Structure 1
Amino acid sequence: MTTSIKLLGAAVSLTFLAGCASTFQASYDHDSANDFSKYQSFAWISKNPMKVGNNVGPVNPLLEPRIMSALENALVAKGYEYVIQPEAADFVLSFTVGSREEISVSSYPSMSAGYSVAYPRQWGWGGAYYGVGTETRVREYTEGMLAVDIFDVEERRPVWHGVATKRISESDREEIEATVKAAVDAILAGFPPN
């Protein structure tokens, strides 16, 4: 009996932790008149395709090559050929990184209860007490963002935009390559559009 209770407790804990795990939220936009089926090759829009959003402090110089590598690998896995010269590609891409500090405020009712033991001069042992109030928690966190823009080379115009955002945890900072790959996978799940 106690083993099944322990297993049930472990299952509930794992389910709760999985529900709390933050994943990237991705969104996409594209030119619906564009024929994405014609694309076979891609290149970078420039030698340094990374843009940095406003109000972002110093950016790790290793971030740009990591994102470039993750995007190249993901697009090649989708069947596109990487070419070095932008003029020889069907589409080119650039990306923007950003972050912002956010504050989360949560309020919920709380209740306290207890028993008071007192020996007043009068009769009595004290009594139970109950309290109802509100507990408020304020949390600061960093929201990270990666946006990818794809441009048609022949027509020289943007045709697709994807963005992924996520609350950045300490483990995300420690496992930066896995975080970058997860962001790229979330974004490119919408490319090419259906």
Structure 2
Amino acid sequence: MKKIAFILFSVILLSACNSVKVVTDYDTKADFTKYKTFAFYKTGIDKADISDLDKKRVLRAVETELLAQGFTKSENPDMLVSFFTKSRRKVDINQNNNFGYGFGWGWNPWMWNGMNNNINVSEYTEGTLFVDFIDTEKKELVWQGIGTGALKLENVEKKEARINEFVKEIVSRFPPNK
């Protein structure tokens, strides 16, 4: 029974770490139906505090998602797309107190087989990706998607998959009220 509870807890914990939490904010006065074309805002993207390789990964992922939604990349766009990132180290500490009953070495008059303390410490990097859509004509931010989740940096394939997951979750919420 303890093993089943531990496995269930581990699956829930791992799935919570894998998810991307997304929030969005937007200009309620903006007419999102007029946005059909996009381009990248190089000045903003150049300021993102990630490697050039990761910038390319984010750009490709955003482009893929927008094209899939029917937007067109253009030299004369309706909106500009920019992004920036933040990251921080996180530490999770979980303590499981397990009371055990059964046979074993030793004897305690107050507890039969005592109590086991399991302390699990995990350290990871939590990343936040901000994706901004800017009205080209007004030169104003009209929509922002913010995705936060644990980063997986074990290898290039997992890193790229995680970036794609972040971008897909964020961009899928654009335009608002679709």
Q: Does 1:40 align with 2:29?
A: no
The aligned residue for residue 141 of structure 2 is 158
Taking a change above 3 Å as real, the CA distance of residues 27 and 117 of structure 1, as seen in their structure-2 partners, is: closer
Taking a change above 3 Å as real, the CA distance of residues 106 and 185 of structure 1, as seen in their structure-2 partners, is: same
Q: Does 1:62 align with 2:56?
A: no
- What is the number of residues matched between the two proteins? 168
Q: Find the aligned partners of 1:27 and 1:172 in 2 and give their Cα distance.
A: 28
RMSD: 3.0
- Aligned counterpart in structure 1 of residue 162 of structure 2, from 147, 172, 179: 179
Per-residue Cα deviation, 1:113-149 (whole angstroms, up to 9, x for no partner):
543479xxxxxxx998421364332221111221101
Q: Find the aligned partners of 2:148 and 2:100 in 1 and give their Cα distance.
A: 38
The aligned residue for residue 95 of structure 1 is 83
Q: Does 1:132 align with 2:115?
A: yes
How far is 1:172 from its partner? 6.8
* 8 Å CA contact 1:172, 1:179 repeated in 2: no
- Aligned counterpart in structure 1 of residue 22 of structure 2, from 23, 26, 29: 26
**Residue identity opposite 2:127 in structure 1:** G
Structure 1: 5+ residue stretches without partners: 1-8, 54-58, 119-125
Structure 2: 5+ residue stretches without partners: none
